[in-house]
Amino acid sequence: MIIISTKSLIHSYKKNTLLKCDEDSGTTKYLVILKMKKESERDDFDRKTIEILAKRASYICSNPNCRSLTLCPSEKDPEKYIFIGKGAHITSASTNGPRYNSSLTPEQRSSIENGIFLCSNCADMIDKNMGLDFSVDLLKKWKHEHEIWVKENLNKSINSLISVIDGEHHAKGKGHVIGIDAQSPVFFKPGTKSSAEGEGTIIATRISYKKEEPK
């Protein structure tokens, strides 16, 4: 909001606040009130929207190449936790931001439809270079596919989703010789080693995970 008197220019950036300004002489009063929005104002998500985004994503980053957990307990305080997730905007919350869409209303920019849940690293990454490498369509695809993935894995043990492999693995022989043959999503612990030797098709590590078709 801008308030202009004949003798002074007064700027008020308090949203939805009405200020009054009288002439110094007290005899003539001129008051012009114009509503405006600061360029620095953002159409941010409220706390409830961020919470719903996080829960719909199961507190897991929606980037399919990341899927990091974003929540863990504090070691120092039994009533505290460490949270590194972010409710990121698909189209920017402010003008001149990454993927900004001027046709959206403030309500649309701050709505849950314009949000995606990511870890803090990925939330920063998608906005680099003004979002050039991460389009609106790509982020919407991430969000949609991640929510489907979360729903499909509801009430399943995490051990059934990811296999953990560590240690040293060596294979020797003829024909198809494979050091590690993983047929499900895997996590290799640091220091894991795999090797193979022999005659024929020699593979140190093979990952051949195929998604099961719905029955």
| 27 closest CA partner among 13, 57, 2, 7 | 7
CA dist 144 and 138 (Å) reads: 10
SS3 at position 205: strand
Per-residue pLDDT of the chain (215 residues; tens, 9 = 90+): 444 444 444 343 334 444 444 444 444 444 444 344 444 488 999 999 999 999 999 999 999 999 999 999 999 999 999 999 999 999 999 998 999 999 999 999 999 999 999 999 999 999 999 999 999 999 999 999 999 999 998 988 766 666 678 889 888 888 888 888 876 677 777 888 889 898 889 988 887 755 544 44
| 147 closest CA partner among 170, 117, 125, 123 | 117
CA 83 from chain center: how many Å?
13
CA 139 from chain center: how many Å?
9
Q: Residue 182: beta bridge partners?
A: 207
Check residue 60 and report its DSSP letter: B
- Give the pTM: 0.60
